[in-house]
Each structure stands twice: as C-alpha cells, then as structure tokens.
C-alpha cells in the first residue's frame, strides 16, 4: 500500500512539473511573438525609412538632404517624429487622395457609358463604387505608411464610440440616400412637395441626391438641401412617382344672369387653347357651388410637365377666359352690398347737421 501511494505521489509530481514546463514554454512564445514598443515605433515610420534608404542609394546629395531633414525631430516619450516623416506622410496622403479621386471619376465615367442602367441605378452604382474606392484608398494609405493598427488597440474602442455618436446622423443620411435610390421612390427629376416641422409646404424638382442631403430646386430657383432622413420619415407628395400627369384646378365664378352652358363652353375653350394642357385626358368643367355673388365653377385640366410650373398654367387659362367672357358679354361678378338705414330721431338730426354743414 505504501509503495502504491509513493508511486502515485511520484506520478503527480511528474505531471505537475510537466505542466509548469508547458506553461513556461507558452509564456515565452507569447512574449517572443508580442511586438515591443521599439518594433511598433519602427513599423510606424517604415515608409519614411524605406524611401530614405532607396533615395540615398541612388543619390548621395539627396540622401544627405533627407538625412538632415530626418535629424530635425520631436521626441515625446517613445514617440519619435521627424520632419522627413511628416513630409512622407503628407506625400502619401496627397498621392492616395489623388489616386482615389481619379479612380472614382473614372468609375463614374464608365458607369455613365453603360446604357442598360437607368438614372437611379447609375446613381446607386456610383455611390457604392465611390464608397468602395475611398475605403480601399484608406487601407492602402495605412499599408504604405506601415502603420501597425495593433498599436492603436487601446484607443480603438473609445475612438469608435466617439465616431459612432458624432457621425450618427451622417451615416443615417448616407444609408437613407442609398435606400431611396434602391426603392426608386424618389429620384432626380421628380417633382415633390414636402412639409417642414412648422407645416409649411415646399414644392420643387429634385436636382441631386447626395451623400447627406437631397437638392430641391423651386420655381423661384431657390435650392433647398433636405437631409435624406427627412424624406424617409416624413410624408412626401411625389407628383411624378408612377406618372408625371398632374391635374390642375382653376376656380371661376360667373354671374347668375349668364348662360351657364355658354360659360362652360368658353371655359373649356380657354383651357384647350393653352399649349401645355393635354388633349387626353381632356379638360372638364364642374359646377362647384352657388356662391353669394356668383355661380362657382372649377376647370380641371391636365399637364405632363409639372417641373415647368403649375401656377403659370392657371394664369394662362384665366387670361384666355377673361377675353372670351368679355367678347360674349358674360359678367364676372364681384361682391356687392346694399345698406338699409332706419329712420329715427337721431338719424334725422344727423341728416340735418350734415345739410347745415353743406350749406355753410
């Protein structure tokens, strides 16, 4: 029994020693694989050092100049930044920016030549290609500069949280713009009416759907920049969503003494004589109400180009109708009032005083 216990104790001791040896091996491997601060600093200026060595091998004079620029530096703890490092970083940033800009423009030019894509699909493709190009450019710049992102692991959480809160609306508008282009509910060229928080309506034609906002141009050539999110959450009246045909209502009042049938005929003639009014569906006239001073009609006419304005159509119909009614001696009434004054003692005194004043 004692021999068995001794053998078991020896096995446990051997197992414990093996475990300690394995743990020490793992710790040494992790320590050897983890980058040191010096290595991280060297990786941060890899592009500048590589360019300095390459240029120094080609030209000794330029190499001496670069060495002089590299000697002008600032040391903040373990962080080392020289003037040459700053120049190389600026060169890389400018180069990557120009490459991304020309690539984005070239991709948009290629998409415009693709006749199979309509306007909405082309805009959506341009946005997605631009996002991809700038994302690749960002990663390419980091790779060229030799920035080791593991060195920024401590700050990545706080930085990401700050970006999330600060750019929440920006990313919301970006996603809203992409959704608007995907479902084609609103596209460039549409004529829409949107109300603001105060209930005031604004109508105009969409000129551009950008990353952050939609450009809306009114008939007064005023350009409104409406955030994409507003078009997603607010009610929007789109005059050209499924059809560009828009019906215009023109109210007209005529005298009670006129020939109603003749008046309706003249109203239709006035509407049909406007070039922008469609022949199909044709204009129609409705008797709306018997007003205090006139018989009220509404002339309904259709147009297919609301982006050219609707108020000018209403004005042209009324001007044509004015001439037609005058030629046919049909009166356009206006409100009239009859005053009845009661005869009493005070009224007689007032009349006498006025007559006396007139004689004087």
Which of 242, 346, 246 lies closest to 304 in space, CA to CA?
Answer: 246
Please give the pLDDT value at position 263: 93
CA distances, 106 to each of 109, 126, 181 (Å): 5, 10, 21
Give the 3-state secondary structure of the chain.
Answer: CHHHHHHHHHHHHHHHHHHHHHHHHHHHHHHHHCCCHHHHHHHHCHHHHHHHHHHHHHCHHHHHHHHHHHHCEEEECCEEEEHHHHHHHHHHHHHHHHHHHHHHHHHHHHHHCCCCCCHHHHHHHHHHHHHHHHHHHHHHHHHHHCCCHHHHHHHHHHHHHHHHHHCHHHHHHHHHHHHHHHHCCCCCCCEEEEECCCCCEEEEEEEEECCCEEEEECCCCCEEEEEHHHHHHCCEEECCCCCCCEEEEEEEEECCCCCHHHHHHHHHHHHHCCCCCCCCCCCEEEEEEECCCCEEEEEEEEECCHHHCCHHHHHHHHHHHHHHHHHCCCCCCCCCCCCCCCCCHHHHHHHHHHHHHHHC
The CATH fold of domain 243-360: Alpha-Beta Plaits (3.30.70)
Please give the pLDDT value at position 102: 85
Packed helices 168-183 and 119-145: angle between N→C axes, nearest 10 degrees: 140
Please give the pLDDT value at position 132: 82
Within 10 Å of residue 305's Cβ, how many Cβ atoms? Answer: 15
Please give the pLDDT value at position 319: 95
Please give the pLDDT value at position 297: 95
Please give the pLDDT value at position 278: 94
CATH class of 170-238: mainly beta
Q: Where in the chain is the domain with CATH 2.30.30.60?
A: 170-238
d(CA 210, CA 214): 6
Q: What tens digit of pLDDT does each residue of 220-269 get?
A: 888 999 988 888 888 888 888 888 899 999 999 999 989 999 999 999 99
Q: Where in the chain is the domain with CATH 3.30.70.100?
A: 243-360
Stretches in the chain below the pLDDT threshold 70: 1-82, 84-85, 114-121, 146-164, 166, 360
Please give the pLDDT value at position 160: 66
Please give the pLDDT value at position 44: 41
């Amino acid at each position: 029994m004692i021999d068995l216990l001794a053998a078991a104790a020896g096995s446990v001791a051997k197992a414990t020693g093996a475990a300690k040896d394995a743990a020490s091996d793992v710790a040494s491997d992790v320590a050897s694989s983890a980058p040191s601060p010096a290595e991280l600093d060297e990786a941060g200026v890899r592009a500048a050092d590589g360019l300095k060595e390459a240029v120094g091998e080609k030209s000794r004079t330029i190499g001496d100049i670069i060495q002089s620029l590299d000697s002008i530096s600032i040391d903040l703890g373990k962080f080392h930044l020289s003037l040459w490092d700053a120049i190389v970083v600026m060169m890389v940033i400018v180069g990557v920016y120009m490459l991304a800009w020309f690539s984005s423009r070239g991709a948009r030019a290629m998409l415009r030549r693709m006749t199979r894509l309509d306007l909405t699909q082309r805009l959506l493709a341009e946005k997605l290609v631009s996002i991809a190009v700038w994302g690749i450019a960002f990663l390419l710049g980091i790779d060229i500069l030799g920035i080791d992102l593991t060195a920024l692991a401590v700050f990545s959480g706080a930085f990401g949280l700050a970006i999330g809160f600060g750019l929440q609306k920006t990313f919301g508008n970006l996603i809203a713009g992409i959704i608007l282009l995907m479902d084609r509910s609103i596209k460039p060229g549409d004529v829409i009416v949107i109300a603001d928080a105060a209930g005031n309506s604004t109508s105009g034609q969409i000129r551009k759907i950008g990353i952050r906002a939609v450009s809306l141009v009114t008939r007064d050539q005023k350009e409104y920049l409406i955030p994409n999110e507003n078009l997603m959450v607010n009610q929007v009246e789109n005059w050209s969503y499924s059809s560009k045909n828009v019906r215009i209502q023109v109210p007209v009042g005529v005298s009670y003494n006129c020939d109603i049938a003749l008046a309706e005929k003249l109203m239709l003639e006035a509407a049909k004589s406007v070039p922008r009014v469609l022949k199909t569906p044709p204009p129609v006239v409705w008797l709306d109400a018997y007003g205090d001073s006139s018989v009220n009609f509404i002339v309904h006419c259709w147009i297919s180009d609301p982006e050219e304005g609707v108020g000018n159509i209403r004005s042209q119909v009324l001007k044509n109708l004015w001439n037609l009614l005058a030629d046919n001696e049909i009166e356009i009434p206006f409100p009239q009032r009859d005053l009845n004054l009661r005869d009493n003692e005070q009224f007689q005194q007032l009349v006498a005083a006025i007559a006396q004043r007139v004689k004087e």
